[in-house]
Amino acid sequence: MPNRDHAPIGAPCWADLWTSDVDASRRFYGELFGWEAMEPSPEFGGYFMFHRDGVPVAGGMGDMGDMPADNTWKVYLASDDADRTAQAAADHAGQVMMPVVPIADLGRQTVLVDAVGATVGVWQAVTFPGFTVLDEPGAPGWFELRTHSLSEAIAFYRPVFGWHTEVVSDSNEFRYTTMVDPAEGTPIAGVFEAPWIPKDVPSEWTIYWGVADADVAVAEVVRLGGSVVDQPQDTPYGRMATVTDPSGAEFRLRMPPAP
């Protein structure tokens, strides 16, 4: 599914970076992925877009008044009614961190903390659908919730976002479930049980950005001032690595497996 005009309900549809160094982040991602950083918008508090080949691929934001940026990427899931999604989250052991607000004529958004402690955004599209290109270099390649309790996570996302799920593995060594597009039958996001996460450490959503060559991309991350958390390694789903940008925001790189 490399191109689409809208995201299925419940699917990841956008991602943005909350960074303590806007200028450095604009340079870093521009050189790493070939993105063009658009001008910050005073109307939206300095929020800006990254474009890839002229198409929006991600957002970015610096400190918000007295709230310093925490240098993280946030994933947004698509909703057809943000108010209903927020209420459902509250009804299923989640927390609504901000009221649902309109963003001009683009859409409506809120931010939740799910039942396992992961922060996730909600986007109800009006004129802006989020990213429309997937599975290409410099575009989103996969999305994953890493949690200490897969069962609690699924019990939240099924009723709150209407997820259709499919168990990939349910062994003590590897527990993984995917959210599946009911129309296409294709996997859209994953939930990975990571038992090494301490109970007092929140679960987290992570994003994988597509690259043509994982090893080359990791070397470029280092050259640009970022750091390597996990070196590239081969998996059944491609060659992957975990890195951070110069401000410490963590993300993953994915080179798809050979056909």
Q: Where are the domains of the chain?
A: 12-125, 140-255
* Average pLDDT of the segment spanning 144-166: 97
Q: What tens digit of pLDDT does each residue of 182-227 get? A: 888 899 999 999 988 888 888 999 999 999 999 999 999 999 999 9
* Average pLDDT of the segment spanning 54-71: 95
Indicate the average pLDDT of the chain: 96
* Average pLDDT of the segment spanning 59-70: 94
Q: Looking at residue 197, what is its pLDDT?
A: 83
Q: Looking at residue 258, what is its pLDDT?
A: 83
* Average pLDDT of the segment spanning 70-79: 98
Residue 143's pLDDT band, with cuts at 50, 70 and 90, is very high
Residue 1 pLDDT greater than 70, yes or no: no
Token pair for residue 244? Answer: 């951070």
Q: What tens digit of pLDDT does each residue of 89-132 get? A: 999 999 999 999 999 999 999 999 999 999 999 999 999 999 99
**Greater model confidence, 9 or 4:** 9
Q: What tens digit of pLDDT does each residue of 11-21 get? A: 999 999 999 99
Q: What tens digit of pLDDT does each residue of 229-252 get? A: 999 999 999 999 999 999 999 999
- Residue range 140-255 in CATH 3.10.180.10: yes
Q: Looking at residue 2, what is its pLDDT?
A: 67
- Comparing 12-125 with 140-255, is the CATH topology the same? yes
Residue 4 pLDDT greater than 80, yes or no: yes
Domain 12-125, CATH class in plain words = alpha beta
